[in-house]
């Protein structure tokens, strides 16, 4: 069985690389699947479209979801994840540059498990990613989790 | 009445009112005639008394008496008095007295002359009287003509005024319901002025919907003596609908309404003007409202654009910055060993600059947030906010010793988040600009000045030159070099905007090296302060 993986929904390549680097630096070797927009994220989770035949059967340990995404936005993705019984309990961490109260509120109301702002300073950024990874991979226990 | 005033015959003035003829005073002329006719008796008695003195002037008193009698009593009395006087003189004063025997021929002549003179007096007075009467009649006729002319003139004037004002009068008798109206009222009804109406047919002219109103008003005027004042529509004889202002006043006699009279005015023009005015006002208001709605929509669109711009700034400008700083850091971490010290320093500069730009972006966001969104209006304890900020600052820089003094219980009405930013910025500035002062001190208190309550935040830091005070509240304008006191130049601009949005004022007083004092006026909480 696959060890726990992470689904990262991120359209910005630099943020993706920095996140991966931060996870690596934190010695978290779990697989990270990266998709570039909201539609891809849903296709990945529900095994549809281009991800119809993706290997592995499990859902990721958690989703790292950016808000400003092309095509389907982060909040819409979150709503669809919560609406589907297969993914309704899947942990979703909003990871965004936004510091808007509106976004915090909207995320919480749509059932995000966490809201984390991406700091500009890389040191702070790396620390947050590391903490996030450890918490959601190692500390958190979720219902139906394949442990 | 015997009233003599010059040569005027008051008793023959033409009677002013025929009704007077029935008055008891009308017997006076005949009484006067009797008195006049009998005057010679009195004259005879008087002459008898004076006889020893005036003798032998037999006619001494009788000439004037006859003259007077004919003036006073008219022709009959005059002639009677003449005959009577002749007889009395004959009997009492002619020799031989007290006999009807023939006197001397001279006395005959005298008596004859007296009779002729008496007749002449009477004739003279009668002619004079007639002449006077004719003159008086002519005068009266002239006066009557003048009065008639004046009346006619006034009537015409009234008519002209009536036409001009389109107003006329009317009245009807309650018992018969027969009435009369002035020409103008008839004209308003498009009827010939000769037609005189009755109350029922007059009511019939009103528009069917208004008829019950006027009928009820007239009924109340008759039965309850209620006056009325109404604006109704009537349909004239030619079928023209007109607006009229009708006023009715009951006339009471012995506690009963006997007549109702009033006025009627054609107010069609006025009503039309009023309606036009109302219509144009409504049209104008509708246009205005539409314009306001359009402007509001435009403004909302502009605000929306501004918000999405701010959001884009917050979201999209940060990612590249993070990449610049992040990859510089990665470069430093992974390849620092192969770089010359100078190269590592360059990377440090890139990292520091990206951090600084991150701070600028955050500052712009704060500034834009200060002018966006709903403004809450709740009581906020500024003193508590200041204490909290000072405690945070002291915690972050425990090595600094700053004397702080905050007057407790200073409150304002406003948005807690925004007011926290205000206090945070002002107290934070005081903290920053006293960092090079030996005996640093920060104070906050409230004072009353110019009829306003001002919150003062004072420090004894480096201060600034008042010559540059106009730059103080503008974004990205700084009065200190970066290497003296680091900063972005956004804090006071944000404070300024927040205070202005609250309807308050902010000003500052300072001098280089002498500290700064910021004055802040904000709305007071509506409820009285508890302490």
Tell me which chain B residues have a C-beta less than 8 angstroms from the C-beta of A68.
315-316
Q: B23 falls in which pLDDT band (50, 70, 90)?
A: very low
Q: State whether residue A70 sits within 8 Å of chain B by CB.
A: no
pTM of the entire predicted model: 0.49
Q: At what angle do helices A74-83 and A101-109 cross, to 10 degrees?
A: 10
What is the per-residue pLDDT for B142?
94
Asked whether the beta carbons of residue A122 and residue B325 sit closer than 8 angstroms, the reply is: yes
| Contact residues for B516 (Cβ-Cβ < 8 A; gap 6+) | B429, B430, B433, B458, B459, B461, B463, B464, B508, B509, B510
Residue B371, pLDDT > 50, answer yes
What is the per-residue pLDDT for B89?
85
Residue A73, pLDDT > 50, answer yes
Asked whether the beta carbons of residue B329 and residue A12 sit closer than 8 angstroms, the reply is: no
For chain A, positions 83-122, list CB contacts with chain B under 8 A.
96-100, 118-122
Q: B374 falls in which pLDDT band (50, 70, 90)?
A: confident
Residue B526, pLDDT > 80, answer no
Of B247, B233, B250, nearest in space to B188 by CA: B233
Looking at the DSSP bridge assignments, the partners of residue B24 are none
Q: State whether residue B329 sits within 8 Å of chain A by CB.
A: yes
Residue B528, pLDDT > 70, answer no
Asked whether the beta carbons of residue B351 and residue A98 sit closer than 8 angstroms, the reply is: no
Residues A71, A37 contacting (CB under 8 angstroms): yes
Residue B11, pLDDT > 70, answer no
| Contact residues for B86 (Cβ-Cβ < 8 A; gap 6+) | B62, B111, B114, B115, B118
Q: A22 falls in which pLDDT band (50, 70, 90)?
A: very high
pLDDT tens, position by position, B484-501: 787 778 888 889 989 988
What percent of chain B has a predicted confidence (pLDDT) above 90?
37
Asked whether the beta carbons of residue B316 and residue A68 sit closer than 8 angstroms, the reply is: yes
Q: What mean pLDDT do residues B288-296 have?
A: 92
What is the per-residue pLDDT for B39?
87
- Mode of pairing for the β-strands spanning B179-181 and B167-173: antiparallel
Chain centre to alpha carbon of residue B250: 30
DSSP helix, strand, coil percent of chain B (3-state; round to 5): 60, 15, 25
CA B198 to CA B180: how far, in whole Å? 8
Name the DSSP letter for residue A139.
I
What is the per-residue pLDDT for B29?
63
CATH 3.30.450.20 in chain B, residues? Answer: 166-266
Look over chain A and give the mean of its residue pLDDT values, rounded to a whole number: 88
Residues B172, B185 contacting (CB under 8 angstroms): no
pLDDT tens, position by position, A90-136: 999 999 988 888 889 999 999 999 999 998 888 999 999 999 999 99
Structure-block tokens of residue B486:
């680091």
Residues A75, A59 contacting (CB under 8 angstroms): no
Backbone angles phi, psi at A31, to 5 degrees: -65, 140
Asked whether the beta carbons of residue A12 and residue B319 sit closer than 8 angstroms, the reply is: yes
Look over chain B and give the mean of its residue pLDDT values, rounded to a whole number: 85
Asked whether the beta carbons of residue B319 and residue A67 sit closer than 8 angstroms, the reply is: no
CA A35 to CA A71: how far, in whole Å? 12
Residue B16, pLDDT > 70, answer no
Residues B14, B140 contacting (CB under 8 angstroms): yes
Q: State whether residue B358 sits within 8 Å of chain A by CB.
A: yes
For chain A, positions 32-61, list CB contacts with chain B under 8 A.
none
Tell me which chain A residues have a C-beta less than 8 angstroms from the C-beta of B320.
14
What is the per-residue pLDDT for B525?
82
CA B490 to CA B282: how far, in whole Å? 48
pLDDT tens, position by position, B145-177: 999 999 999 988 888 888 888 888 899 998 888
User: What DSSP string describes B319-339?
Assistant: HHHHHHHHHHHHHHHHHGGGS
Q: A2 falls in which pLDDT band (50, 70, 90)?
A: low
Of B189-203, B233-247, B253-267, give the lowest mean pLDDT range. Answer: B189-203
CA B38 to CA B49: how far, in whole Å? 18
Asked whether the beta carbons of residue B355 and residue A15 sit closer than 8 angstroms, the reply is: no
The residue of chain B nearest to residue A14, with distances taken between CA atoms, is B323
Residues B266, B243 contacting (CB under 8 angstroms): yes
CATH 3.30.565.10 in chain B, residues? Answer: 374-530
What is the per-residue pLDDT for B72?
85
pLDDT tens, position by position, B412-435: 999 988 899 899 999 999 999 998
Segment (H or E) for B508: strand B505-510
Q: B1 falls in which pLDDT band (50, 70, 90)?
A: very low
What is the per-residue pLDDT for B100?
67
CA B251 to CA B253: how far, in whole Å? 7
Q: What mean pLDDT do residues B230-240 have?
A: 91
What is the per-residue pLDDT for A41?
93
Q: What mean pLDDT do residues B360-382 have?
A: 82
What is the per-residue pLDDT for B25?
43
What is the per-residue pLDDT for B28?
57
Residue B356, pLDDT > 90, answer no
CATH of B166-266, picked from 3.30.450.20, 3.90.1150.10, 1.10.3720.10, 3.40.50.2300, is: 3.30.450.20
Fold of B374-530: Heat Shock Protein 90 (3.30.565)
Tell me which chain B residues have a C-beta less than 8 angstroms from the C-beta of A98.
311, 314-315
Residue B103, pLDDT > 70, answer no
Structure-block tokens of residue B145:
């003509």
Which of B314, B320, B351 is facing A98, going by the closest CB pair? B314
């Amino acid at each position: 069985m696959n060890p726990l993986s992470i689904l990262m929904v991120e359209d910005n390549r630099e943020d993706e690389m920095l996140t991966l680097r931060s996870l690596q630096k934190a010695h978290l070797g779990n697989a990270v699947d990266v998709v570039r927009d909201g539609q891809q994220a849903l296709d990945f989770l529900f095994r549809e479209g281009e991800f119809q035949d993706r290997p592995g059967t499990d859902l990721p340990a958690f989703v790292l979801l950016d808000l400003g995404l092309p095509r389907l936005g982060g909040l819409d993705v979150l709503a669809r994840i919560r609406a589907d019984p297969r993914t309704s309990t899947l942990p979703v961490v909003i990871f965004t540059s936004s510091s808007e109260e509106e976004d915090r509120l909207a995320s919480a109301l749509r059932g995000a498990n966490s809201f984390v702002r991406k700091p500009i300073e890389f040191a702070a950024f790396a620390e947050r990613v590391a903490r996030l990874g450890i918490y959601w991979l190692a500390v958190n226990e979720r219902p139906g989790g394949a442990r | 009445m015997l009233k003599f005033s010059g040569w005027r015959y008051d008793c023959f003035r033409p009677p002013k009112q025929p009704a007077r003829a029935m008055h008891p005073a009308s017997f006076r002329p005949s009484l006067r005639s009797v008195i006049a006719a009998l005057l010679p008796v009195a004259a005879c008695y008087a002459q008898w008394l004076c006889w020893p003195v005036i003798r032998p002037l037999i006619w001494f008193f009788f000439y004037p008496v006859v003259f007077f009698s004919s003036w006073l009593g008219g022709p009959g009395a005059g002639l009677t008095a003449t005959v009577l006087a002749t007889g009395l003189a004959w009997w009492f004063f002619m020799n031989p007295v007290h006999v009807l025997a023939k006197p001397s021929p001279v006395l005959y002549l005298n008596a004859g002359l007296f009779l002729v003179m008496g007749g002449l007096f009477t004739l003279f007075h009668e002619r004079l009287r007639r002449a006077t009467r004719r003159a008086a009649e002519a005068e009266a006729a002239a006066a009557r003509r003048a009065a008639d002319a004046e009346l006619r003139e006034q009537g015409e004037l009234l008519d002209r005024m009536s036409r001009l004002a389109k107003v006329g009068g009317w009245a009807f008798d309650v018992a018969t319901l027969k009435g009369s109206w002035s020409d103008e009222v008839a004209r308003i009804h498009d009827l010939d002025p000769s037609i005189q109406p009755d109350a029922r047919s007059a009511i019939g002219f009103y528009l069917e919907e208004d008829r019950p109103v006027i009928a009820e008003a007239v009924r109340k005027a008759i039965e309850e003596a209620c006056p009325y004042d109404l604006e109704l529509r009537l349909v004239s004889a030619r079928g023209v609908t007109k607006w009229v202002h009708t006023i009715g006043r009951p006339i009471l006699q012995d506690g009963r309404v006997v007549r109702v009279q009033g006025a009627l005015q054609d107010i069609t023009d006025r009503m039309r003007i009023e309606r036009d005015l109302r219509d144009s006002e409504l049209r104008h208001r509708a246009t205005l409202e539409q314009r306001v709605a359009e402007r509001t929509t435009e403004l909302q669109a502009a605000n929306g654009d501004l918000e999405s711009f701010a959001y884009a700034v917050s979201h999209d400008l940060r990612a590249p910055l993070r990449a610049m700083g992040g990859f510089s850091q990665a470069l430093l971490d992974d390849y620092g060993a192969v770089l010359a010290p100078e190269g590592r320093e360059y990377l440090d500069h890139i990292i520091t600059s990206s951090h600084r730009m991150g701070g600028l972006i955050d500052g712009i966001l704060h500034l834009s947030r200060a002018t966006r969104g709903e403004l809450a209006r709740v009581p906020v304890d500024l003193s508590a906010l200041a204490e909290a900020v000072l405690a945070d600052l002291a915690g972050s820089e425990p090595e600094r010793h700053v004397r702080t003094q905050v007057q407790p219980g200073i409150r304002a009405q406003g948005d807690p988040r925004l007011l926290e930013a205000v206090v945070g910025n002002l107290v934070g500035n005081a903290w920053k600009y006293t960092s090079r002062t030996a005996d640093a001190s920060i104070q906050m208190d409230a004072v009353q000045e110019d009829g306003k309550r001002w919150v003062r935040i004072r420090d004894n830091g480096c201060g600034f030159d008042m010559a540059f005070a106009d730059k103080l509240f503008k974004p990205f304008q700084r009065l200190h070099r970066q290497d003296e006191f680091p900063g972005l130049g956004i804090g006071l601009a944000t404070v300024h905007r927040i205070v202005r949005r609250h309807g308050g004022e902010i000003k500052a007083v300072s001098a280089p090296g002498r500290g700064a004092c910021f004055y802040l006026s904000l709305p007071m909480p509506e409820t009285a302060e508890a302490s």
